[in-house]
Structure 1
Amino acid sequence: MNKEYTIRTMTRDEVNLAIDWAAQEGWNPGLEDAHCYYQADPHGFLIGLLNDEPVAVISAVKYSSSFGFIGFYIVKPEYRGQGLGLKIWQAAMARLEGCNIGLDGVVEQQENYRKSGFALAYANRRYQGMSHMLADQGSEHLVDLNTLPFETIAQFLMPLFPAQRTEFWRAWLAQNNALSVGVIIEGELQGAGVIRQCREGYKIAPLFAKNASQAEAIMGALSSKITDESAVFLDVPVCNSEALTLVEKLNMTAVFDTARMYTKEAPSIGVEETFGVTSFEIG
């Protein structure tokens, strides 16, 4: 069997398969995630084939020489328990050798990730609300992010992630099924959020703000742009107490937790300003 099992870099079209498998796992990807994620690292997606049949996928996105992120770790259900997942996992880890590697893993797998050198930083929790219950257009400081110079947005985002990912952000903001809002106070961009259509409802991701009132204004404005009554999801770092207070105030319901883990020291990424994580799959 080992001779028949090959692991290689995915083509762009094969990233669609990883997205489909993620949907089957209940991860609810966005409609244009494949395109956006591919921009982050065209060589960062691996596929395992058994007799040319795709049986395993994983992403190992290398943002820089010092930071990478693992996601999309999925083995086709009927092929689990045969060691195929371990082999593609090892290939992903080898690709990111020397980097501080992050991931958002299911809580039940924390112990397995620890064995690979990961340590828990904090939990992220997915919350669900309804667009018509969250909608509000009550802030005069809000602007469409796409009306701002990209350099302004990039400078705002820089302290909120361990590495630059310019091409990803360009694609993320340009999605056909997405809208974005920023908070401008005294000429300074202080908050930003993007809402995109997913397989089920919409996700607000990311949501960055200086405080909870700014975050609430962004959420309200983004939710008000949805024309039907749809589910809205937000992935919140549990260590951000202001964010937890906000989702409770808005009567959003917890859906599930993930474990944010790193192989080295947790990077300083402004978690206190992160009210919504950009992606569980690529950070």
Structure 2
Amino acid sequence: MTCQRPLIAICNLLRTKLSFPPQRPANKAMNRPLGSELHPSILGQDHIPAALELCRFAGWNQTKQDWQRFLRLNPKSCFGLFHDQNCIATCISTEYARQQAWIGMMLVHPEYRRQGLAKRLLNHCLSRLDEQGIACVRLDATPAGLQVYQGLGFVPEFVLSRWRLPEQTRDVSRTNPKPRNTRKSSEETSYRKHLELDKLAFGSDRSELLADLAGDSLICSADNGFGMMRAGHLANYLGPLTAKSPGVAKDVVSRLLDATPGAIFWDIPDSQMETTQFAHSLGFQKDRSLTRMRRGKNVPQDVNLMYGISGPSTG
């Protein structure tokens, strides 16, 4: 098993404090519905501060680095709604090998909710995906959004839960564990094996996403699995985590925890009972549940290989 850090030290990322200019407050006196008069626009780098403010309103964990990644990978499928030049809602879709797409970052400013803005953005994303011939669309729904998505043709597939490890004093290694194998050929072979395993678990090739995540993550690999840990606004995020057995997953998690200070979020399918029991034994606490949902054709995923997702925004 090996653990490797990117050129940018993970510890620096873990200590990063986000700062961004506040948005102009929304018009609290505005009562008439806006859904019919606002049109989705493509988001750019200059919209990241506004998108982050929506994340903070929602209590979400995404960082500036996450939004930069969304825009790099999906430059034409990150959408927003604007009122008085303020970004008041967002939604993104990520396409994987033209087989399936993922809907994420469905956010609406608190003062503009219950006006159909999220549904308008979602329908825009779905129409665009239909035009591209992408037959399978997935998302991870909160309990509040479950009925809304069902009304748009999404069906439940399985339940996963967020597990949270509170920030506490742990015996954390401050140095990068030395890799077991250092030959370039071994690293390339291992990388290809991990991509193949992830494709079996997720159902589509998402090597572009994994390569981008690796640039911001601590990576631990084993012969039959791998996992990543990256910084978040509220807590570090453990995932994706793909392995051929619970034992391999436990080994990878233990290595990641040994090298990571601070609080941690970890999203695990509920069917992985041995792994959720392991998380509980480590001090993780169950925080909330999500439902994986699908619209259209079924691109099979193997939940038995899935011990942690890459995040609700990308699967």
TM-score (norm 2): 0.77
Report the counterpart of residue 296 of structure 2 in structure 1: 264
> Larger % of strand: which?
1
Deviates more, 1:100-109 or 1:153-162: 153-162
Mapped pair 1:215 → 2:249 = yes
Mapped pair 1:35 → 2:71 = no
1:242-272 deviations in Å (ceiling 9; x for gaps):
3222223323100111111001355332211
The code of the aligned residue for 2:292 comes to R
1:173-210 deviations in Å (ceiling 9; x for gaps):
111xx2100002xxxxx110101111123111111122
1:40-76 deviations in Å (ceiling 9; x for gaps):
3222211111243211110122224331111111111
The code of the aligned residue for 1:155 comes to E
Report the counterpart of residue 157 of structure 1 in structure 2: 198
CA drift at 1:81 = 2.0
Q: Give the percent of matched residue pairs that are identical in Structure 1 and Structure 2.
A: 19
Report the counterpart of residue 148 of structure 1 in structure 2: 187
Mapped pair 1:180 → 2:219 = yes
Distance 2:57 2:272 in 1: 30
Structure 1: any 5+ residue segments left out of the alignment? 185-189
Q: Which has the larger radius of gyration?
A: 2
Give the one of 128, 151, 155 matched to 1:119.
155
Q: 8 Å contact 1:197–1:203 — kept in the other structure?
A: yes
Mapped pair 1:171 → 2:171 = no
How do 1:11-26 and structure 2 match up within 5 A?
11-15=44-48, 17-26=50-59
Give the one of 69, 78, 90 matched to 1:57.
90
CA drift at 1:10 = 1.1
Mapped pair 1:254 → 2:305 = no
Structure 2: any 5+ residue segments left out of the alignment? 1-33
Q: 8 Å contact 1:122–1:237 — kept in the other structure?
A: yes
Give the one of 73, 78, 84 matched to 2:117.
84
CA drift at 1:117 = 0.3
CA drift at 1:16 = 5.2
Moved over 4 A (4+): 1-4, 130-136, 139-144
Distance 1:169 1:17 in 2: 26
Change (3 A) 1:104 1:2: closer
Give the one of 225, 232, 240 matched to 1:198.
232
